[in-house]
Structure 1
Amino acid sequence: MEANRDRTQEEQDIAPPTTDTQTEIEPLLRRQSQTQSQRSQLSKQLTTRNAFAVLVSIQIGSGIFASPAQVDSNVPSPGAALLVWVVGGLLSWAGAASFAELGAALPLNGGMQEYLRHIYGDTMAFLMAWIYIMAVKPSSMAIQSIVIAESIGSVSSPDPLATWKLKTIAVVAFVSMVLLNSINTKITIKLSESFTVVKIMTVSLIVTGGLIAVLAHLVDPNSSISGSRDWYSKDWFQSRPSVSEGKPVDWNNISEWERFGHYSAAIYAGLWAYDGWDNANVVASEIRDPGRSLPKAIKLAMVVVLSSYELVNLAYYILLPWDLMSSSDAVAVAAARSLFGRPAGIIITVLVAISCAGSITSNVFAVGRLTVAASQRNYLPGFLGKRGLPRQFQKHTLTTSDSSSDDGALSCRSTNNEENSILSTYFDAPIYAHILALVITLVYILSGSFRALLTFVGMAEWVFYVATVIGLIILRSREPDLHRPYQPVLVLPIIFIVVGTLMIVRSAMFAPLQSGVLAALLVVGAVVSKLRR
Structure 2
Amino acid sequence: MSETTTREFTKLPRVLGPVQALCVIVGSVIGSGIFIVPAQVARDVPNISGIVLVWVIGGMFSLAGAMTLAELGAMIPRAGGLYVYLRAAYGALPAFLFGWTEFLIMRTGSMATLAAAFATYFAHLVPAPANVHDQIWQAGAAVAAILAVTTINVLGTAIGGRVQVAGTALKVGGLITLIVLPLMLGGGKTANLTPLFPPAFNLSLLGGMMAAMVGVLWAYDGWVNLTSLAEEVRDPGRNIPKALVLGMGTLIGLYLAMTLAYHFVLPLPDIAALADVKRGDKAVAALYCYRLLGNNGVMAISFLVMCSTFISLNGNALTGPRAYFAMARDGLFPMRICRIHPRFQTPSNAIMAQGTWAIMLTVIGTVLIVAPAPGPDSGLPPMIVSVWTKLNQTPLYKLLYTYVIFGANMFNMLAIGSVFVLRKKRPDMPRPYRAWGYPFTPLLFLMASLLLMGDMLRSTPAESMAGLLIVVLGLPAYWVFSRNGASVVVDEP
Match of 1:443 in 2: 360
The corresponding residue for 2:212 is 266
Match of 1:387 in 2: 340
Tell me by how many angstroms 1:454 deviates. 1.6
Q: Which residue of 1 aligns with 2:191?
A: 232
Q: Shift of the alpha carbon at 1:255?
A: 6.5
Question: Equivalent of 1:176, from 148, 158, 166?
Answer: 148
SS in 2 for 1:182: helix
Q: Which of 234, 243, 249 pairs up with 1:303?
A: 249
Q: Does 1:71 align with 2:41?
A: yes
CA RMSD of aligned residues (A): 2.5
1:429 is matched with which residue?
A: 346
Q: CA deviation at 1:45?
A: 2.0
**Separation in structure 2 between the aligned mates of residue 207 and residue 168 of structure 1, nearest angstrom:** 32
8 Å contact 1:206–1:332 — kept in the other structure?
A: no
Could you report, residue by residue, the CA deviation over 1:245-279 in whole angstroms, capped at 9, with x for unpaired residues?
xxxxxxx7x961x5444322211211111111111
CA deviation after TM superposition for structure 1 residue 381, in Å: 0.8
Equivalent residue for 1:124? 94
Distance 1:283-1:233 versus aligned 2 partners, 3 A rule: closer
- Does 2:34 match 1:57? no
Rg larger in structure: 1
Report how far residue 120 of structure 1 moved.
0.3
Aligned partner of 1:20 in structure 2 is: none
In the superposition, relative to structure 1, how do residues 66 and 447 fare at CA in structure 2: closer, same or farther (>3 Å)?
A: farther
Query: Aligned match of 1:114 in 84, 90, 107?
Result: 84
Given candidates 432, 435, 439, the residue that maps to 1:485 is 432
CA shift in 2, pair 1:337/1:120, >3 Å = same
8 Å contact 2:193–2:264 — kept in the other structure? no
Kindly provide the CA deviation profile for residues 464-506 of structure 1, in whole angstroms up to 9, marking residues without a partner as x.
1111111211222222222211112221001111111111111
**If the length of structure 1 is used for normalisation, what is the TM-score?**
0.77
1:454 aligns with 2:424: no
SS of the aligned residue for 1:43 comes to coil
Q: Provide the rounded CA distance (Å) in 2 between the counterparts of 1:339 and 1:157.
A: 24
Q: Is 1:378 the equivalent of 2:331? A: yes
Residues 375 and 38 (structure 1 numbering): CA distance in 2 closer, same or farther, change over 3 Å? closer
> Partner of 2:165 in structure 1?
193
- Per-residue deviation, residues 170-214 of structure 1 (Å, max 9, x unmatched): 22222222222221111111101101111111111210223235x
Contact kept? 2:15, 2:157, Cα under 8 Å: no
| Inter-partner Cα distance in structure 2 for 1:83 and 1:165 | 38
Q: Which moved more, 1:320-329 or 1:370-379?
A: 320-329
1:165 Cα deviation after fit: 2.3
Task: Give matches, 1:29-428, under 5 Å.
Answer: 43-154=13-124, 162-213=134-185, 216=186, 226-227=187-188, 231-233=190-192, 235-239=194-198, 256=203, 259-326=205-272, 327=274, 328=277, 330-388=283-341, 424-425=342-343, 427-428=344-345
Is 1:502 equivalent to 2:451 in the alignment? yes
The one-letter code sitting in structure 2 at the alignment partner of 1:501 is L
State how far apart, in whole Å, the 2-side matches of 1:460 and 1:530 are. 21
**TM-fit CA distance, 1:154:** 4.2
CA contact (8 A) 2:42 2:268 kept: no
CA-to-partner distance for each residue in 1:329-383, whole Å, 9 max, x for gaps? Answer: 6322221122101112212211211111111111001112222112112222111
Q: Deviations over 1:88-130 (max 9, x none)?
A: 1111110001100111111111011000000000000000000
Amino acid at match of 2:305: V
1:239 offset after TM fit, Å?
Answer: 4.1
Contact 1:210 1:316 in 2 (8 A): no
1:430 corresponds to which letter in structure 2?
P
Q: Separation in 1 of the partners of 2:462 and 2:182?
A: 38
Structure-2 separation of matches of 1:181 and 1:368: 10
CA offset at residue 321 of structure 1?
Answer: 3.3
* One-letter identity of the residue aligned with 2:262: Y
1:526 to 1:53, Cα distance in 2 relative to 1, 3 A: same
Over residues 53-86 of structure 1, what are the superposed CA-to-partner deviations in whole Å (9 max), with x where a residue is unaligned?
A: 1111101112222222232222132331121111
In the aligned structure 2, how far is the partner of 1:380 from the partner of 1:233?
A: 54
Equivalence for 2:474: 525
Shift in CA distance, 200/109, structure 1 to aligned 2, threshold 3 Å: same
Which amino acid in structure 2 is aligned with residue 79 of structure 1? S
More deviation, 314-323/134-143? 314-323
Shift of 1:38: 13
Relative to structure 1, the CA distance from residue 47 to residue 39 in structure 2 (aligned partners, 3 Å threshold; closer, same or farther) is: farther
Shift of 1:50: 1.6
Give the whole-Å Cα distance in 2 for the aligned partners of 1:437 and 1:362.
Answer: 13
| C-alpha contact 2:48 2:193 (8 A) present in aligned 1 | no
Contact 2:73 2:240 (8 Å CA) reproduced: yes
Q: Distance in 2 between matches of 1:168 and 1:143?
A: 14
How big is each residue's C-alpha offset from its partner over 1:444-465, in whole Å with a ceiling of 9 and x where there is no partner?
A: 2233333342221111101011
Structure 2 distance, partners of 1:437, 1:52, is 23
C-alpha distance in 1 between matches for 2:255 and 2:348? 34
For structure 2, list consecutive stretches of 5 or more residues without a partner in the other structure. 1-7, 366-395, 483-493
- TM-score w.r.t. length of structure 2: 0.83
Determine the C-alpha separation between the residues in 2 that align with 1:379 and 1:331.
44
CA distance in 2 between counterparts of 1:121 and 1:38 reads: 24
Match of 2:421 in 1: 474
The question of whether the paired residues in 2 share the 8 Å contact of 1:155 and 1:342 is answered with: no
Separation in 2, partners of 1:269, 1:515? 15
Q: Is contact 2:192–2:267 with CA below 8 Å preserved after alignment?
A: no
1:282·1:369 contact (CA, 8 Å) conserved in 2? yes
Aligned equivalents of 1:212 and 1:67: distance in 2?
25
Q: Report what 1:24 is aligned to.
A: none
SS at the partner of 2:430? coil
Aligned residues of 1:66 and 1:147 also touching (Cα < 8 A): no
